[in-house]
Amino acid sequence: MDILSFFEERAKKEPRTIVFPEGSNSVIAEAALRLQRGKVARPLLLGEAASVKATIASLGGTELDTIDPRSDRRLEEYVADYAREHALPEQVARRIVTEPLGFAAMMVKRGEAAGMVGGINCPTRDLLMVCELIIGLKPGLSVASSFYLMDIPGYRGGEDGLLIFADPAIQPEPGAVELADIAIATAASAAALLGWQPRVAMLSFSTKGSADHPAAEKVAQAVELAKQRAPELLIDGEMQLDAALVESVARQKIHSESAVAGRANILVFPNLDAANIGSKLVQQLAGARSYGPILQGFAAPVSDLSRSATPLDVFNSAVLVAVQSTADD
């Protein structure tokens, strides 16, 4: 069974309500129909009622649940809650919450949906801002982040040929505190979603002080912060990529005991440049299949879509959000 089929079977065991703020988009509606018909999740489409229903009808569907935030019975309660929590006039709160993105986030915050999938019609920064304001972050984390699950043909390391790369999509230049957050969040995601024993390598151009540079020192500091906050976590660094993945190289470069060196299944890159470039190199040169970016760090599951997402991309994103929600229980 491939990894997406594995997640789909998990989602079917306990179908969750997933809200889609861009319900009138035909790509979203097509994916939602597949989720509903396959009993994988309970999709809920938001938007102007006539437009959403027309889109569903054009695809031959009638069974999807829809909500028009402007006329929904919960709107006034949402507005009052948001205004009170953020000390804002209700007029300002209404502008935010009436928008489908804000309304969807309020549904997730209040537990009326298990998670949300959006971004096909809006910039990533807008979706992240709304989710951070309304849903918030998990306790102890200062930033949201993301990861790719990489399935690499012929590779026997990592976890049965799978590796996790973080953060390839969200934090451009994380400091030591943010890198520690990314490492802790990614390890928790790997354990919850995949049942892994996380082994986190914090990557650099330096291995254990072999280079004296602030960039390497930042990574080493992040390792120490992560160890202080999560003493049970198997994490090591700073280290070069080959020392993280190849045991013979690790023995040459690292002269201390390490449960991670040469055996890492999670690679935390020092910045967005490195993570994004590294993941695309593995895809292009090794034919790796990449799943994600999968968002993490929010108090409830959220998925951000590419503008070019296909119905299958949306379906897979919703499956991952559903599985994340069951893993968080």
pLDDT (tens digit per residue) in 191-205: 988 999 999 999 999
Residue 207 to residue 45: CA distance in whole angstroms: 49
Q: Given this model, what pLDDT does residue 109 score?
A: 95
- Identify the CA nearest to 293 among candidates 119, 111, 41: 119
At residue 89 the predicted structure's pLDDT band, cuts being 50, 70 and 90, is: very high
**C-alpha dist (Å) from residue 287 to 77, 153, 158, 283, 284:** 50, 7, 16, 5, 6
Mean pLDDT value of segment 5-25: 94
SS3 call for 126: helix
Q: Please state which architecture CATH assigns to domain 3-136+298-327.
A: 3-Layer(aba) Sandwich (3.40)
Lowest pLDDT segment from 119-123, 179-183, 219-223: 119-123
On average, the pLDDT of the chain sits at 92
Q: Given this model, what pLDDT does residue 257 score?
A: 86
| Lookup result for tokens 């602030």 | 214
Greatest Cα pair distance in the chain: 66
Q: Given this model, what pLDDT does residue 3 score?
A: 85
Q: Which residues does 116 contact at the CB level (< 8 Å), separation at least 6?
A: 18, 19, 20, 21, 104, 105, 107, 108, 131, 301, 302, 303, 321
Query: With contact defined as beta carbons under 8 Å apart, do 73 and 102 qualify?
Result: no
Whether the pLDDT of residue 83 is over 80: the answer is yes
Lowest pLDDT segment from 129-143, 170-184, 279-293: 279-293
Mean pLDDT value of segment 244-252: 93
Neighbour-count burial for 219-229, b at 16+ CB within 10 Å, e otherwise: bbbbbebbeee
Q: Given this model, what pLDDT does residue 329 score?
A: 64
- 180 DSSP β-pair partners: none
- 289 DSSP β-pair partners: 151
Helix (H) or strand (E) holding 56: helix 49-58
The bridge status of strand 145-151 relative to strand 199-203 is: unpaired
Structural domain spans, the chain: 3-136+298-327, 145-290
- Identify the CA nearest to 266 among candidates 155, 149, 142: 149
pLDDT (tens digit per residue) in 272-293: 999 999 999 999 999 988 888 8
Residue 211 to residue 216: CA distance in whole angstroms: 7
Q: Given this model, what pLDDT does residue 62 score?
A: 76
SS3 call for 165: strand
pTM of the model: 0.88
Burial class (CB in 10 A: 0-12, 13-18, 19+), 297: buried
Mean pLDDT value of segment 34-59: 92
Mean pLDDT value of segment 239-249: 94
- Which CATH class for the 145-290 domain? alpha beta
